[in-house]
């Protein structure tokens, strides 16, 4: 069925011209400097949103070359963006700089090949040697697992081979013997009258953190939901989007439309904020079937709060031994206005003493492929993030994006702090799970 639908309305990527009005809305006030993590790392006009919008305006006005002709300095500025959307959040005129940057990256990549964007992601797409490189660098990834990571997976973009020093320094999770799909069935029947949901796992949860995916599915099952975990799902496309690979984003979107559309579920749940940003936000801008899919996407923290999970958890007796936990807002939750639900969940967990940290909504510095191409800036942004963690005295930083978990772990480790980063779902133990089920 869906083949026909997909071919009819595959959606399209916006081009720079689509943003002409948005670019005009920038009044160059400079307010984005207060929000842009890349600005804080370099403090050059080209770092910050205002500068990138000026590059876009100059491209449209014919003052800078287009596509392959774009000056290297401008390309560098366009590559220096985490696409976190923080600037839009603070912009008095809501200029969507991350989307504009995405359009320019696609334009440049389409004409020059991907290697011209940032530093050469294209050569690594599908590189079989990635696995070998990662192992050689000392990151304990099981070879068997990396062989199974699809060539289109965002993980391959995030940790390309020719930037091994970065891979070597990054804290990667221990190998997962079996990926998420090998651990769970494609459909688990729930209780009648309860929501029908599908879980969009994403690359990191599928291959690196399947235990988070298992927790997610267990939570949904305990809530009585019928849960689908379609094996045909792929990468959300965010890393490809970040590196300007429009065609790959389209292929992935089509695959996800094929995997999810026929299920006719009430919601598509994500437990990775970036994936939510991809299939929930970016697909909306593509129109067509991807946009229809996007409208069903809900972050798990929002879903759990609406399902009354906070009240159920709060009714549990407080644990005697509790951990002090702070919350890191992933950019792709913050930009969708999802600030309160995760905090309510954390505060309700019986084993948690929730503390607010300063700069909770500041970007961790990962930013898709940013941390690979701009490791120094990424490190500086991470350093700044960790100051807030240290000051609040938390033992754990919880978040809802595996990418953030990885980056936070790296930054905490570099700062030699005895603090760990965890996914919020990892704080759900047996008692919490039991509280979810209807008696």
Footprint of other proteins (CB under 8 A): 27-34, 43-46, 51, 54-55, 58, 63-64, 71-74, 77, 92-93
Q: How far is the CB of 417 from other proteins (least distance, A)?
A: 20
Which of 68, 284 has the CB closer to other proteins? Answer: 68
Q: Cα–Cα–Cα angle for 292, 297, 299, nearest 5°?
A: 165
Q: How far is the CB of 93 from other proteins (least distance, A)?
A: 6
Tell me how far, at minimum, the Cβ of 72 lies from other proteins, in Å. Answer: 8
Output the DSSP codes for 385-438: HHHHHHHHT-SEEEES-HHHHHHHHHHHHHTT-S-EEEEGGGG--HHHHHHHS-
The CB-of-9 to other proteins minimum distance in angstroms stands at: 33
Comparing CB distances to other proteins, the nearer of 57 and 137 is 57
Given the complex with other proteins, which of 40 and 256 has the nearer CB atom? 40
Q: With respect to other proteins, which residue has the nearer C-beta, 93 or 129? A: 93
What is the Cα 147 distance to its own chain's centre?
A: 23
Residue 60 or 145 with smaller CB distance to other proteins: 60
Sequential DSSP letters for 37-68: HHHHHH--GGGSHHHHHHHHHHHHTTSS--GG
Least separation in angstroms between residue 92's CB and other proteins is 3
Least separation in angstroms between CB 58 and other proteins:
5
- Minimal distance, residue 247 CB to other proteins, in Å: 27
What are the beta bridge partners of residue 187?
A: 228
Nearer to other proteins, 34 or 136 (CB): 34
* Nearest alpha carbon to residue 161 among 203, 114, 129: 129
Q: Which residues pair with 270 in a beta bridge?
A: 200, 299
Q: Which H helix or E strand runs over 157?
A: helix 154-158
Whichever of 252 and 389 has its CB closer to other proteins, that residue is 389
Contact 237, 253 (CB under 8 A): yes
CB atoms < 10 A from the CB of 148, how many? 17
C-alpha span between 6 and 10 (Å, rounded): 5
């Amino acid at each position: 069925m869906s083949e026909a639908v997909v071919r009819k309305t595959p959606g399209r990527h916006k081009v720079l011209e689509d943003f002409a009005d948005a670019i005009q809305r920038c009044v160059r006030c400079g307010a984005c400097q207060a929000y842009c993590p890349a600005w804080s790392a370099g403090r050059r006009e080209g770092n910050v949103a205002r500068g990138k919008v000026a590059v876009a305006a100059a491209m449209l006005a014919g003052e800078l070359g287009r596509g392959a002709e774009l000056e290297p300095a401008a390309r560098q500025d366009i590559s220096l963006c985490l696409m976190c959307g923080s600037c839009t959040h603070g912009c008095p005129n809501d200029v969507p700089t991350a989307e504009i940057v995405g359009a320019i990256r696609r334009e440049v990549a389409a004409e020059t090949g991907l290697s011209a964007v940032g530093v050469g992601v294209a050569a690594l797409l599908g590189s079989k040697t990635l696995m070998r490189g990662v192992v050689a660098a000392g990151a304990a990834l099981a070879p068997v697992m990396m062989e199974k990571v699809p060539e289109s997976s965002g993980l391959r973009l995030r940790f390309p081979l020719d930037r091994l020093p970065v891979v070597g320094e990054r804290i990667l999770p221990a190998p997962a013997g079996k990926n998420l799909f090998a651990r769970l069935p494609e459909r688990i029947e729930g209780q009648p009258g309860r929501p029908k949901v599908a879980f969009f796992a994403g690359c990191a949860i599928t291959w690196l953190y399947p235990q988070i995916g298992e927790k997610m599915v267990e939570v949904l099952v305990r809530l009585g939901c019928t849960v689908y975990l379609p094996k045909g799902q792929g990468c959300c496309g965010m890393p490809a989007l970040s590196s300007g690979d429009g065609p790959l984003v389209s292929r992935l979107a089509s695959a996800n439309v094929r995997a999810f559309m026929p299920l006719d579920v009430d919601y598509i749940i994500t437990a990775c904020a970036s994936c939510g940003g991809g299939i929930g936000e970016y697909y909306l801008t593509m129109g067509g079937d991807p946009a229809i899919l996007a409208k069903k996407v809900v972050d798990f923290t929002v879903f759990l709060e609406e399902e009354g999970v906070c009240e159920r958890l709060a009714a549990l007796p407080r644990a005697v031994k509790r951990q002090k936990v702070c919350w890191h807002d992933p950019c792709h939750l913050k930009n969708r206005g999802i600030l309160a639900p995760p905090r309510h969940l954390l505060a309700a967990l019986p084993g948690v003493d929730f503390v607010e940290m300063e700069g909770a909504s500041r970007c961790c510095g990962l930013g898709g492929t940013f941390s690979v191409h701009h490791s120094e800036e990424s490190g500086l942004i991470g350093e700044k993030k960790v100051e807030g963690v240290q000051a609040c005295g938390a033992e754990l930083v919880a978040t809802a994006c595996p990418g953030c978990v990885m980056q936070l772990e790296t930054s905490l480790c570099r700062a030699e702090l005895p603090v760990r980063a965890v996914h919020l779902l990892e704080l759900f133990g047996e008692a919490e799970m039991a509280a979810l089920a209807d008696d």
